[in-house]
Amino acid sequence: MNIGFVGLGIMGAPMASHLIDGGHQITTCIHNTPAPSILVDKGLTIVDSLEEVAKNTDIIIIMVPDTPQVQEVLFTENGIADGLSNGKLVIDMSSISPIDTKEFAIAINSKGCGYLDAPVSGGEVGAKAASLTIMVGGSEENFSRALPIFELMGGNITLVGENGIGQTTKVANQIVVALTIEAVGEALLFASKAGANPSKVRQALMGGLAQSRILEIHGERMINRTFNPGFRIELHQKDLNLALQGAKSLGISLPNTATTQELFNSCSANGDGALDHSGLVTALERMSNSTVN
């Protein structure tokens, strides 16, 4: 199958690589992110514009940081929308606004094309291992068409509802992830300050009810001080901002989400927005004048 892929960054590059390994031809254009040499060596096709990407492929995947970038990719002059024709399928795997997603889907559907919002969870590790969780919003028909592609990139793939519900599910996921990172940070900081070896504490907790992927992966990063992303704090800030904006529009309160966002804000204010989101622990450390060690 000919697949367009826009956004070959930390997540997009390994995802596209799995598609090539699965026998698909991938076409892209140079849009903010240069084409990784490993994909070029595998036969990546590079065209001159987003419009050409859409014209030359049947399915177009977008994997960019935020809502404005998705809007630009789709609707800028000579963008993806300009190259669409009846029957093509656009899949946005970015993490963006559920409200804007619904509007994007309507615009793409008006061209006789399908639209899926299919944000992912699992980070760089999951992208490289093809073990991403994929949360899909859209029709059963379009989901069935895309499922063989999704299966090359992830293992837990769920059609959760109509367009926009995939993004809503991702926002919910990011609330859980952020609050769990914050809890792991507090626990390891407490243990360390009390004189315990945080590595051994983490090992012990991994055998009990506190066990989680966050404790396993991000807890280890906190202990080893390996905060290279991963998933950047500034991107998680964006996702929690979507959560808090959504909560306001729904008339509900998310108090711990708001607190965790303030900790991310503290990290960014101290120049750490590009760290992996496990670096949230540095905000707790500054408040306590103590470190996990």
Extract the tokens encoding 204: 């012990």
The answer to whether 8 and 33 have CB atoms below 8 angstroms apart is yes
Residue 85: Cβ-neighbour burial (10 angstroms; 0-12, 13-18, 19+): exposed
Unique residue bearing structure tokens 């499922």: 147
The answer to whether 122 and 136 have CB atoms below 8 angstroms apart is no
Nearest to 279 by CA among 201, 194, 175, 182: 182
The answer to whether 150 and 134 have CB atoms below 8 angstroms apart is yes
Run of H or E residues at 168: helix 165-193
Q: How far apart are CA 284 and CA 26, in angstroms?
A: 43
Q: How far apart are CA 199 and CA 64, in angstroms?
A: 35
- Neighbouring CB atoms inside 10 A of 233's CB total 27
Ramachandran angles phi, psi of 238, nearest 5°: -60, -45
Question: Out of 88, 111, 170, 193, which one is annotated catalytic?
Answer: 170
- 170 a catalytic residue: yes
DSSP3 helix / strand / coil % (the chain, rounded to 5): 55, 15, 30
The answer to whether 25 and 2 have CB atoms below 8 angstroms apart is yes
- Give the sign of the dihedral formed by CA 50, CA 53, CA 59, CA 62: negative
Q: Which residues are catalytic?
A: 170
